[in-house]
Chain A
């Protein structure tokens, strides 16, 4: 079982809709969770961090964490074509290093 798992996609969402990206992790002791966005040919860009169970909102982005289910998600409201990118989920397990999922490729269709 991989430490961090994401559906590789591609996930296709119409412009203006809500994009929902999911991530599961294997280490129950994980404490820190991050979402990065990576455009093709660019480096990852941090968009959200979450440390406690529940929701955290920042503009059009909402991160959701459920430690009991070992599940973290990212919702993007009012999706725009500029949101088309690969979204990387990153988790800090007990080993205290950042472990990334393979990423979900998101395409927003105008």
Chain B
């Protein structure tokens, strides 16, 4: 079974721009969660989607948003990029709603200049 895929793997943007990251979950998984990982803050929860609905949201500003499509694929968008948004963005999928075993994709490394 193919794992979680994320595109693009690497991205370089400048301050003020916006970015969209994509995640395709494991086949049959309907829940997708997004995380931000930085050396200082570690892994922090952004949001979780299940059946195209946002079920939970972390403590991030409104510049961070996401959505999920009917095929369970998910995108996250960051608008008005700041230098501090430079991080590894990880997507994880699980079979159902709520928090059960989550499997991570390879991540998208975002650098904001």
Contact B101 A34 (CB under 8 A): yes
Interface residues on B, range: 20 to 34
Residue contact A46 to B102, C-beta cutoff 8 Å? yes
Query: What secondary structure prevails in chain B residues at the interface with A?
Result: strand
B1-51 interface with A by 8 A CB criterion: 33, 35, 42-45, 48
The reply to whether B90 and A44 form a contact with Cβ atoms under 8 Å apart is yes
- The reply to whether the CB of A99 lies closer than 8 angstroms to some CB of chain B is yes
| CB 8 Å contact bits of B80-104 with A (1 = contact, 0 = none) | 0000000010100000001111111
**Which of A54-100 touch B at CB < 8 Å?**
88, 92, 95-100
Known contacts A97-B45, A97-B58; A32/B99 CB under 8 A: yes
From known contacts A43-B107, A44-B43, A102-B42, infer whether A96 and B56 are also in contact, taking CB-CB under 8 Å. Answer: yes
CB-CB < 8 A to B56: which residues of A?
95-97
CB contacts under 8 Å to B, within A22-47, are: 32, 34, 36, 42-46
B contact set with A: CB distance below 8 Å:
33, 35, 42-45, 48, 55-56, 58, 88, 90, 98-107
